[in-house]
Structure 1
Amino acid sequence: MRVQQNILNLPVGSWTDDSSLSLCLLDSLAITKKLDLEDVMNRFVMWLFENYYTPNCRAYDIGTTCWKAIANYKKNGDWENCGLTDERNNGNGSLMRISPIFFYLLKTYGPDVMKNPESYKVIHQTSALTHAHPRSLLGCDIYLAVMFEIWNGTEKDKILPEALKKVHSYAETDKKIEDEFYHYDRLFMPDFAKLPEEEISSSGYVVHTLEAALWAFLGTDSYRDCLLKAVNLGDDADTVGAVAGGLAGLYYSGEEEKGIPEEWLTKIQCRDFIDGIIEKAERVWLGN
């Protein structure tokens, strides 16, 4: 199996904007012990302008929408209105960092979270810090719904249909979300996971990224194979890998043979920094 070329020429085990912004959100949840979106934005500023939450003291591969939204907040201090709302601003920059909100939703609303309208408000506010168009909000809804189907032990071939059913049920009460559903029509195809590679795009468009990540996850049976399948699509490989990895990491958690390869973990840059954030978050959001 081929391995995607390191086009940024980063040291092995480096991480880019996807992981950095996810760490910002996770660290905020761990430190504030709540969802404080102003604090999250302050950490985004620390990343973009102070090179914090980076492996090599440099913020890599910054998307235009993220950059503009964070710059808006730095200038105006208004987290509720800093995200971009235009249809052209439907990149994958909120989808790629949304997974830590899973832990907040789980502890706040329980495993049936995707049946609770309040949970969608949380997801939308978190996405809208940078990406506020309904299409991006819906992409995050679908992704979190898939995570909760995994958490609840849904059989793998039923995970996506069950997630889509719950999100669509909510969308019937929110026209701006319902009107965007047709952009994700391919996810409703019974044989979506069996589509040939040439029909899967891995561009930075939120719909393409979500499709590619789900396709890689549903079409493999280990974390290693999922990640290799995802990143070898090329194009926006780091983000597709991050989004797919969030699903595979949750699904194969605790499975030594199918989980994250130890040889990959040992190569992660600044691992102590990452582990420290994870340990704080675990105590707050997965403790009793």
Structure 2
Amino acid sequence: MDALERYRGCLLGLAVGDAVGTTLEFRPQGTFEPIDDMLGGGPFALQVGEWTDDTSMALCLAASLVECGTFDARDQMRRYLLWRDEGYMASNGMCFDIGGTVAAALHIFERTGNPFVGSLDPATAGNGSLMRLAPIPLFYANQPERAIEQAANSSRTTHGAATAVDACRYFAGLIIGALQGQTKEELLSPYYSPVSSSWEDRPLAPEIAAIAAGSFKTRNPPQIRGTGYVVNSLEAALWAFYSSATFRDGCLLAVNLGDDADTTGAIYGQLAGAFYGEKEIPRSWREKIALRDIMISLSQQLLSHASPV
């Protein structure tokens, strides 16, 4: 499989997971009939193929990396403000869904100009930085150590809590492994990293280390929960990836956990899309995705900035 197939799969997979999951967003686990298709609707009454803040923020991040040619935290935050205020990179031209931790960070950035204002409070360790992560490992695919470092920095703009930062570090490594063509068994082996001794030199937060050790292999719903807490959502996305053999089946496992279903789907979709490639995402889903042409263009530009993997 060529690199562009994986790059497009990663970005489109994020958007597809978000769009499939929005139907069940905020629905508690076990209180609804499971879905088996991309249906739209949900709390924001979206059209089929429209998606939420997860994909908007990922596209802001991707555009920043490509247009700046480097990691520029201030530019990233300015783009997040454009999304909030003007609907930049929104699926329907409006910002209709923004997390409280992100909103608080943007407010501080507006007042201070400091882009690294993500709260350090463990109580704010939501999944809002993990959900948008994909452009970082795509841009730095040929520099895995740098990718892991910049994944942390990309979180710190809005989510500074250790578990949120380390979820991004670990997940960036998984995406790079998928881009490199590692097997699922290798990716999900204990403490996987594309960089030797990553987690010995800079240990993961205990909650993330437990996931890296394979907690998702021995747990099932209702212990597996797709909530807004980054530890739960990372574990849920990896459980769905581990427990399935196709992009579609894993995506449906992820979103049918309910709660923060769109984000569980978006996190799953980044890794699964990079692993399976664009063509393994159901055509009927990817062809409906809003702003698909922008995602395809950004995928190509991100690849152009990275050496082929």
Alignment TM-score, normalising by the size of structure 1: 0.86
Q: 1:241 aligns with which of 253, 265, 269?
A: 265
TM-aligned CA distance change 1:266 to 1:183, over 3 Å: closer
Deviations 1:56-92 (A, max 9, x none): 1211321110111112112221113x22111111000
Q: 2:101 aligns with which of 62, 65, 69?
A: 65
Question: Number of residues paired by the alignment?
Answer: 273
Are 1:150 and 2:182 an aligned pair?
no
Are 1:285 and 2:306 an aligned pair?
yes
Separation in structure 1 between the aligned mates of residue 243 and residue 98 of structure 2, nearest angstrom: 29
Corresponding letter in the other structure for 1:275:
I
Q: After TM superposition, give the deviation of residue 160 of structure 1 in Å.
A: 2.0
**2:126·2:229 contact (CA, 8 Å) conserved in 1?**
yes
Separation in structure 1 between the aligned mates of residue 154 and residue 206 of structure 2, nearest angstrom: 20
TM-aligned CA distance change 1:155 to 1:171, over 3 Å: closer
**1:105·1:119 contact (CA, 8 Å) conserved in 2?**
yes
Q: 2:119 aligns with which of 84, 90, 94?
A: 84
Separation in structure 1 between the aligned mates of residue 193 and residue 272 of structure 2, nearest angstrom: 21
Corresponding letter in the other structure for 2:249:
D
Are 1:262 and 2:283 an aligned pair?
yes
**1:63·1:93 contact (CA, 8 Å) conserved in 2?**
yes
Q: 1:134 aligns with which of 157, 162, 169?
A: 162
Q: 1:215 aligns with which of 239, 243, 251?
A: 239
TM-aligned CA distance change 1:172 to 1:282, over 3 Å: closer
Separation in structure 1 between the aligned mates of residue 129 and residue 64 of structure 2, nearest angstrom: 16
Paired position in structure 2 for 1:2: 34
Deviations 1:133-192 (A, max 9, x none): 111111111111211222233321231225446789434434xx54x22454254247x3
Listed as ranges, the matches of 1:5-44 within 5 Å are 6-44=42-80
Separation in structure 2 between the aligned mates of residue 22 and residue 216 of structure 1, nearest angstrom: 21
Q: After TM superposition, give the deviation of residue 29 of structure 1 in Å.
A: 1.3
Separation in structure 2 between the aligned mates of residue 76 and residue 25 of structure 1, nearest angstrom: 21
**1:149·1:163 contact (CA, 8 Å) conserved in 2?**
no
Gaps of 5+ in 2: 1-32
**1:142·1:167 contact (CA, 8 Å) conserved in 2?**
no
Separation in structure 2 between the aligned mates of residue 165 and residue 100 of structure 1, nearest angstrom: 18
**2:226·2:261 contact (CA, 8 Å) conserved in 1?**
yes
**2:178·2:275 contact (CA, 8 Å) conserved in 1?**
yes
Deviations 1:105-152 (A, max 9, x none): 213x2xxx2xx4x54432221110101111111111111121122223
Corresponding letter in the other structure for 1:90:
A
- Structure 1: which 4+ aligned runs deviate by more than 4 Å? 165-168
Are 1:271 and 2:292 an aligned pair?
yes
Are 1:97 and 2:132 an aligned pair?
yes
Q: After TM superposition, give the deviation of residue 34 of structure 1 in Å.
A: 1.5
Helix, strand or coil for the counterpart of 1:228?
Answer: helix
Helix, strand or coil for the counterpart of 1:198?
Answer: coil
Paired position in structure 1 for 2:225: 201
Alignment TM-score, normalising by the size of structure 2: 0.80
Corresponding letter in the other structure for 2:274:
L
Give percent identity, aligned residues only.
33
Q: 1:185 aligns with which of 210, 213, 219?
A: 210
Gaps of 5+ in 1: none
Deviations 1:230-277 (A, max 9, x none): 1111000110000000011011116x4xx1111112211233333333
Structure with more contact order per residue of length (Cα contacts < 8 Å, sep ≥ 6): 2
Separation in structure 2 between the aligned mates of residue 148 and residue 183 of structure 1, nearest angstrom: 18
